[in-house]
């Protein structure tokens, strides 16, 4: 989840009641990749400029999105950071800190005392992590 602390985060606001239910009743530990993480990690430019990679749905999606936005810097990588830590773990890219928050009726996430959740904190630079993510995306699909 891209949780922006003490702010209105889109994924929470669209259904604050459901978000509140998930965050109060989820039975296992939750690791949050915050808005501030994915916002600083940009990916996709090196991938779409690599002419050797062909017939890649990842490359095609980035190419469409980046060109539509006239984006020459790369896309924010909220989902990619969540996948990276789910597959490779937080270390060596991030450390974590314990947080807790409540979700107000309007969807605002407000930090409160506690450490029910773990929140990613940069250990490597955003550029270093972006390179790792983009290297994983630089895959040439096999023809079948």
Q: Can you give the pLDDT at residue 143?
A: 79
CB 54 within 8 A of CB 39: no
- pLDDT, one tens digit per residue, over 116-131 is 999 999 999 999 999 9
CB 75 within 8 A of CB 59: no
Average pLDDT over residues 37-51: 96
What angle do helix axes 78-88 and 126-137 make, rounded to 10 degrees?
A: 80
The distance from CA 18 to its chain's CA centroid, rounded to whole angstroms, is 20
The distance from CA 101 to its chain's CA centroid, rounded to whole angstroms, is 19
The encoded tokens of residue 35 equal 């808005």
pTM of the model: 0.86
Residue 2, domain member (yes or no): no
d(CA 90, CA 66) in angstroms, rounded, equals 27
Residue 60, domain member (yes or no): yes
Residue 13, domain member (yes or no): yes
Residue 1, domain member (yes or no): no
First to last CA, the chain: 35
- pLDDT, one tens digit per residue, over 58-73 is 999 999 999 999 999 9
Q: Can you give the pLDDT at residue 10?
A: 82
Residue 144, domain member (yes or no): no
CATH number at residue 59: 3.90.245.10
Residue 53, domain member (yes or no): yes
Number of domains making up the chain: 1
CB 45 within 8 A of CB 69: no
Which residue range forms the structural domain that includes residue 130?
7-137
> Of the candidates 73, 74, 82, 75, which has an alpha carbon nearest to the alpha carbon of residue 3?
82
């Amino acid at each position: 989840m891209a949780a922006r602390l003490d702010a209105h985060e889109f994924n929470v606001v669209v259904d604050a009641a459901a978000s509140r239910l998930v965050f109060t009743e989820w039975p296992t530990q939750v690791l949050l990749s915050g808005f501030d993480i994915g916002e600083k990690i940009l990916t996709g430019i090196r991938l779409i400029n690599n002419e050797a990679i062909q017939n890649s749905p990842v490359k095609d999606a980035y190419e469409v999105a980046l060109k539509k936005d006239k984006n020459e810097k790369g896309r924010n990588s909220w989902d990619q950071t969540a996948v990276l830590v789910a597959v490779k773990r937080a270390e060596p890219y991030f450390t974590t800190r314990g947080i807790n928050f409540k979700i107000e009726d309007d969807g605002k996430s407000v930090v409160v005392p506690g450490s029910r959740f773990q929140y990613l904190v940069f250990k490597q630079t955003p550029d270093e992590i972006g390179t790792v993510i983009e290297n994983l995306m630089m895959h040439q699909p096999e023809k079948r």
